[in-house]
């Protein structure tokens, strides 16, 4: 583990006013978005879509890193250059999703466990050849109090896998983005979300410490503390921001240099507003930024519609979302 390399990567990702574009949807997941817009889900169309985003003029002003999926990091732009190499020329770092999706946990119909530890080191070495400097692993936590979810066993198994992944990444001089996502799906209240997220993060940091993970060399990518999407009592943005910070102050080590939130299905404007409100709080021990997928891409995709003629307008829509999120990292609404 070369801590100097890890620290340099993190400092670049956490550059003031910048955040991460999460463009690591699997082909099947992006196919669902394409289907709504009547775009054929082919490797070439996925490549064209990624190029539209990555080649957007001025992307480097607001985006410090891009998370890719295996297919994408092996693809080339229309000029015959690897996406990762083209981004590197702009000063944008390339990251890679290294988990292999989820499987049922203990044959449960709700809870899952993330796969992908086997052969991880070899995959990381291969991705380093494609300029990858950071990685991502997502654990999924489901809330359903009526069925006693999440269970302690599922939380423990998922954070153990996250800790093992983080250590392997660091041993290969790759910065691990540690992503424990408590899903927004459900009717649970803001208080339940706070309780579950607190338990998950406390258990996570126990596991990270037990495995000897270098906390200054990770980035945390958590959910914000938000009520379930179907909860009848939806909190104000101010309550969400305060509850999230209260949770993190009690669970997240101050050694962690940065928290790069996932949007998790929030409305674009709320993802921006929540982040901005949190960044209006002073004396936080971490940099608070974004690692958004849908909240950065949604308007660009619906503008693009798979048509080359729409590329300039789609790129403008993407850059505008990136600019607004950049302002949110500075505490500006």
Select from 67, 39, 40 the least CA-distant residue to 53. Answer: 67
Q: Are strands 93-97 and 132-141 parallel, antiparallel or unpaired?
A: parallel
Return the closest-CA partner of residue 174 out of 254, 76, 77, 73.
73
Measure Cα distances from 91 to 15, 22, 88, 206, 297 in Å.
11, 17, 5, 35, 20
Closest CA to 95 of 28, 163, 175: 175
What is the SS3 assignment for 140? strand
Phi, psi of 308 (to 5 degrees): -60, -35
Active site residue 249: no
> Would you call 179 a catalytic residue per the annotation?
yes
* Cβ atoms of residues 20 and 53 within 8 Å: no
Angle at 180 between CA 178 and CA 184, to 5 degrees: 145
Distance CA 275, CA 241 (A): 7
Interatomic CA distance for residues 53 and 147, integer angstroms = 41
* Active-site entry in 221, 243, 273, 299: 221
Residues 6+ apart with CB under 8 A from 175: 6, 9, 10, 13, 133, 134, 135, 169, 217, 218, 219
Catalytic position from the list 179, 181, 243, 299: 179
User: In whole angstroms, what is the distance from residue 293 CA to residue 270 CA?
Assistant: 14
> Which amino acids are annotated catalytic?
179, 221
């Amino acid at each position: 583990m070369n801590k100097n390399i890890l620290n340099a990567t993190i400092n670049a990702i956490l550059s003031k006013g910048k955040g991460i574009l999460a463009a690591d949807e699997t082909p099947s997941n992006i196919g669902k978005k394409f289907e709504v817009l009547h775009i054929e889900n082919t490797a070439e169309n996925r490549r064209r879509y990624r190029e539209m985003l990555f080649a957007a003029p001025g992307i480097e002003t607001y985006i410090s890193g891009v998370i890719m999926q295996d297919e994408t990091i092996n693809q080339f732009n229309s000029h015959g250059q690897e996406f990762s190499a083209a981004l590197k020329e702009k000063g944008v770092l390339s990251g890679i999703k290294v988990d292999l999706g989820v499987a049922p946990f203990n044959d449960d119909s709700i809870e899952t466990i993330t796969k992908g530890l086997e052969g991880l080191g070899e995959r990381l070495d291969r991705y380093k050849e494609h300029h990858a400097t950071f990685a991502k692993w997502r654990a999924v936590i489901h809330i359903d109090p009526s069925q006693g979810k999440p269970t302690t066993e599922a939380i423990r198994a998922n954070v153990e896998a996250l800790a093992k992944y983080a250590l392997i990444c660091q041993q290969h001089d790759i910065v691990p983005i540690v992503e424990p996502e408590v899903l927004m799906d459900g009717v649970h209240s803001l208080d339940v979300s706070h309780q579950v997220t607190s338990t998950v993060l406390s258990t996570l940091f126990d596991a990270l410490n037990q495995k000897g993970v270098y906390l200054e060399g990770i980035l945390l990518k958590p959910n914000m503390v938000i009520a379930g999407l179907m909860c009848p009592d939806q909190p104000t943005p101010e309550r969400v921001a305060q509850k999230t910070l209260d949770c993190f102050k009690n669970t997240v080590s101050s050694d962690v240099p940065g928290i790069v939130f996932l949007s998790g299905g929030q409305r674009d404007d709320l993802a921006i507003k929540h982040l901005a409100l949190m960044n209006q709080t002073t004396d936080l021990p971490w940099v608070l930024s974004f690692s958004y997928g849908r909240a950065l891409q949604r308007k660009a995709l619906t503008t693009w519609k798979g048509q080359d003629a729409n590329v300039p307008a789609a790129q403008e829509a993407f850059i505008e979302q990136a600019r607004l999120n950049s302002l949110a990292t500075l505490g500006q609404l």
